[in-house]
Structure 1
Amino acid sequence: MRIVSLLPSTTEILFALGAGDQVVGVTFECDTPAEARERTIVSTTAIPEGLSASDIDAFVSKAMAAGEDLYHLDAGALGALDADLVVTQDLCAVCAVDVSVVDDALAYLGCRAEVLTIDPHTLDEVLTSVTTLGAATGTSARASELVAGLRDRLYAVESAVHAAHRPRALVLEWTDPAFAPGHWVPEMVTRAGGINALGTAGEKSVRVTWDAVRGSAPEVIVCAPCGYDLEGSTALGRKAIDDGELPDGIPVWAVDANASFARPGPRLVDGVEALAGILHPDAAQPPRPDMARRLR
């Protein structure tokens, strides 16, 4: 089987399932595992490099209002790969190539590849997507084993913190402007033993005012801007502190959002474990230094 993965998360899952040798095409963002970078890139971004967080938001907002695509699909490269399976999404136009673009490209090229849409909104749906990809690639046994291990780790976290005080925690999915979390992130807070202060599980992330951030009365703030690694999250978190946007006297953390918060793959469980360490230092293991950093 020849597979093109148009999502960093599904690329990661496919390699974890032992199907990495079948992956022939990926996006420019597919960087885990490192071997994924050796595959043909068929999708790039329209967002210019070097923009600030506020400039990115302005660019995305303008493009979306104009109905413009934020990702470019190289139809020629896709056609040359002669894929049997193309994995894409219909979840977020800001995150990856939309399934409609893929369908149009394949129809234009006359390709008969199967298109598999992966659209998880919750942690359970993320785990189900592992099973779905296992069934599609003949790796169901490995998928079941992987999902069982991830569920065991989630259970271990919940067991460790179940008797502890549940602090109000606010995860910021963007900081300029502020965005409250959606999809699986509020559930990650809950599983880690916190109360999600702002945002709705299973729904889209939403732009909020800094007054709303302060009014949500968080006891801990976690900066997890979508697409940023730990260093990038740290810089944006410190800027928000320096600009006086975050409530005084409240602990502020930065995390590697790109690795374990934004991408719906196995490493979300790493994110839950990191959150548990942040919220419950006396009950859970401290977050790894490459995963989280306390800013205040």
Structure 2
Amino acid sequence: MRSRVLCGAAAAVALLATGCGSSAKSGDAAAPTAGANAPAGAAYPVKVTDCAGAETTFGSAPKKIVTSNASSLEMLLWLGAGDRVIGTGFPPGAGTMPARFADQAAKVPVLGQMVISKEKLLGSGADLYVDTFASVGSMGGSMGTAPTEQEFAAAGIRHVYLHSTACAAMMKGPQQDLSQVEADIRSLGAITGTSAKADELVAGMEQKVGAVRKALAGVAAGQEPSYFFFDYDAGTKQPMAECGKQVANAVITLAGARNIFGDCDGDFKAVSWEDVVARNPDWIQLGVRNQGGDAANQKAFDAAAQFLKTFPATKGLKAVQEGHFVRIGSEVTTIAGVRDADTVQRIAHTIHPDLVKS
């Protein structure tokens, strides 16, 4: 069996590549507010909140941004603010960024292969730190300690969070749509003065997801196929569940499936193979990280499928017996971002091919 990495590779992927606004249907993030007399497209001051509701105010657009990982980096690239990013932690792996951003992302200085050290972050010269993590302490002692808000302020760094990931565990209910992800995009757009682009990106996401939901209108509530995200890179000794508050739950739900662990509280949770067998999913997504190329990706998918076909506890599962494997990687499923809407389409087409066309 494969040994466990961190608290689960999907959790790690959410860090590697895993705001407020919109109509927050799946949580409690408040919309960023802007001054009424500010010029169109760059309306300041802008106020955003952290997970506890504390406000941060921006009187102008940040000029030097550090991102905690590739998730927030990718959002800024989509918004056209990538030229202001002066460093990142958890840099994107080969093949994980959209092709259009790969070269630009590769040029961003890496301040830490994992969490950026406190000293390096405070000394980075940044005026904004975009944080995808709820707290460094929850990731284990080897990650080090995060700066306090007082230390951020003393260094001249404003500290903001992606609510869809950093605040996920604090939400009152599960994420069942992409409103929190869209809120993060709009929040970063407001902060960086790229609100028009943010609105364009969100509109595109809503159009894609809306088309899927329309196509699936005839699927009766409660009759959706059951679905298990198999976090193969986490190790096979003990499976890691994507719970209801994880972004993946929203993606799976919108695609017309029922996450078999959507009822567990929080975002990630270690479960047992007995739990998986008891829920006997109709479909299993082979959650592997992008390996940097099509051939390598297919090899990783094949390895995950082969484990399920030969492991005594899983070889009798309905999905395994019927070959109902979804070959879509971890990053575009578990990480908050623009491409979540594309993943909704891809999953929906795989499990509902007669209803949702590619």
TM-score category, normalised to shorter length: 0.7 to 0.9
CA contact (8 A) 2:248 2:335 kept: no
Query: Which deviates the most, 166-175 or 148-157?
Result: 166-175
Q: 1:172 to 1:199 in 2, by over 3 A?
A: farther
RMSD, matched Cα: 3.1
Q: Determine whether 1:235 maps to 2:298.
A: no
Q: What pairs with 1:3-22 in structure 2 (closer than 5 Å)?
A: 3-22=65-84
How many angstroms does 1:201 deviate by?
7.6
- Identify which of 262, 265, 269 aligns with 1:206: 269
Q: 1: distance between equivalents of 2:337 and 2:265? A: 16
CA contact (8 A) 1:186 1:201 kept: no
Q: Determine whether 1:36 maps to 2:101.
A: no
How many angstroms does 1:101 deviate by?
3.8
Q: 1:273 to 1:173 in 2, by over 3 A?
A: same
How many angstroms does 1:104 deviate by?
4.2
Provide, for residues 2-53 of structure 1, a one-character-per-residue CA deviation record: whole Å limited to 9, x for no partner. Answer: 11111211111101001011111112433523111111111223xxxxxxxx
> What residue in structure 2 maps to residue 85 of structure 1?
128
Q: 1:224 to 1:197 in 2, by over 3 A?
A: same
How many angstroms does 1:86 deviate by?
0.8
SS at match of 2:113: strand
Q: 1:127 to 1:234 in 2, by over 3 A?
A: farther
How many angstroms does 1:188 deviate by?
1.7
SS at match of 1:171: strand
Q: What pairs with 1:140-151 in structure 2 (closer than 5 Å)?
A: 140-151=195-206
> What residue in structure 2 maps to residue 137 of structure 1?
192
Q: Determine whether 1:23 maps to 2:85.
A: yes
TM-score (norm 2): 0.64
CA contact (8 A) 1:172 1:222 kept: yes
> What residue in structure 2 maps to residue 276 of structure 1?
348
Q: 1: distance between equivalents of 2:73 and 2:185? A: 11
Structure 1 runs not aligned, ≥5 long: 46-70, 287-296
TM-score (norm 1): 0.76
- Identify which of 256, 260, 266 aligns with 1:197: 260
> What residue in structure 1 maps to residue 331 of structure 2?
259
How many angstroms does 1:257 deviate by?
2.8
Q: Percent identity?
A: 23
Q: What letter corresponds to residue 161 of structure 2 in structure 1?
A: T
Structure scoring higher RCO (CA < 8 A, sep ≥ 6) equals 2
Q: Determine whether 1:2 maps to 2:64.
A: yes
Q: What is the number of equivalent residue pairs in this alignment?
A: 259
Provide, for residues 47-71 of structure 1, a one-character-per-residue CA deviation record: whole Å limited to 9, x for no partner. Answer: xxxxxxxxxxxxxxxxxxxxxxxx3
CA contact (8 A) 2:68 2:89 kept: yes
Q: 2: distance between equivalents of 1:282 and 1:40? A: 46
CA contact (8 A) 2:66 2:87 kept: yes
Structure 2 runs not aligned, ≥5 long: 1-62, 169-174, 292-296
- Identify which of 89, 113, 122 aligns with 2:157: 113
Q: 2: distance between equivalents of 1:135 and 1:108? A: 21
CA contact (8 A) 2:260 2:281 kept: yes
Q: What pairs with 1:58-77 in structure 2 (closer than 5 Å)?
A: 71-73=115-117, 75-76=119-120
Q: 2: distance between equivalents of 1:196 and 1:92? A: 26
Q: What pairs with 1:213-224 in structure 2 (closer than 5 Å)?
A: 213-224=276-287
